[in-house]
Amino acid sequence: MVFNTKSSRWLQLPTSLQRSKNLLEKIERADLKLSVIGLGRVGLPLSVAFVNCGISVIGVDSNASYVSNIRNRRAPFSENRFNDLLGKALASGKLTVTTKSGEAVRASDIIIVTVGTPVTERHNVDYSQIREVLSVLVQGGLEGKALGFRSTLGPGTTEELIIPYLQESTGLKVGRDFFLAVCPERILEGKAIDELHDLPEIVGGADEASKKIFSALFKKLNPEKRIRFLSTTGAELAKLFTNVYRYTNFALANEFGIWAEMYQQDAPEIIRAANFGYPRSNIPLPGFAGGPCLAKDGLFLDNSITFSSLISAAWKLNEAMPQHVADSIKRALGRTLYSKKIGVLGVAYKAGIDDVRLSPALKLVNILTEQGALVEVHDPYVRNKTVSIDRLVRNKDCIILAVNHPEFSKYKAKISQAKPKLVYDVWGMFDRVDFKNSKYMGFGRGS
Residues that bind a second copy (CB under 8 A): 155-156, 186, 188, 199-200, 202, 226, 228-231, 233-235, 237-239, 241-242, 244-246, 248-249, 251-252, 255-256, 259-260, 262-266, 269-274, 276-278, 280-283, 301, 304, 308-311, 313-314, 317
Q: CA 168, CA 171: separation in Å to the nearest integer?
A: 5
List of E strands, 291-414:
341-345, 374-378, 398-401
Residue with smaller CB distance to a second copy, 271 or 361: 271
Sign of the torsion angle spanned by Cα atoms 247, 250, 251, 252: positive
Q: How many Cβ atoms are within 10 Å of 272's Cβ, its own excluded?
A: 12
What is the nearest approach in angstroms of a second copy to the Cβ of residue 368? Answer: 24
Q: Is 239 among the residues known to form the active site?
A: yes
Which residue of the set 239, 296, 330, 340 is catalytic?
A: 239
| DSSP classification of residue 411 | G
What is the nearest approach in angstroms of a second copy to the Cβ of residue 233? Answer: 5
Distances (CA, A) of 138 to 23, 102, 165, 206: 19, 10, 9, 18
Q: Is 293 among the residues known to form the active site?
A: yes
HSE-up (13 A, CA, CB side) for residue 30: 13
What is the nearest approach in angstroms of a second copy to the Cβ of residue 253? Answer: 9
Residue with smaller CB distance to a second copy, 318 or 386: 318
Kindly compute the dihedral angle of the four CA atoms of residues 76, 115, 137, 128, in this order, to the nearest 10 degrees.
-120
What is the nearest approach in angstroms of a second copy to the Cβ of residue 197? Answer: 13
Residue with smaller CB distance to a second copy, 147 or 271: 271
| DSSP classification of residue 234 | H
Sheet order of strands, 341-345 included: 374-378, 341-345, 398-401, 422-425, 439-442
Choose among 99, 128, 106: nearest CA to 39: 99
Residue with smaller CB distance to a second copy, 109 or 201: 201
What is the nearest approach in angstroms of a second copy to the Cβ of residue 242? Answer: 5
Which residue of the set 293, 350, 363, 396 is catalytic?
A: 293
What is the nearest approach in angstroms of a second copy to the Cβ of residue 275? Answer: 9
Distances (CA, A) of 440 to 135, 328, 395, 434: 56, 12, 17, 9
Chain centroid offset of residue 346 CA: 18
List of E strands, 187-309:
201-205, 227-230
Distances (CA, A) of 399 to 103, 177, 345: 52, 60, 7
Residue with smaller CB distance to a second copy, 186 or 414: 186
Residue with smaller CB distance to a second copy, 380 or 428: 428
Residues with active-site annotation: 239, 293
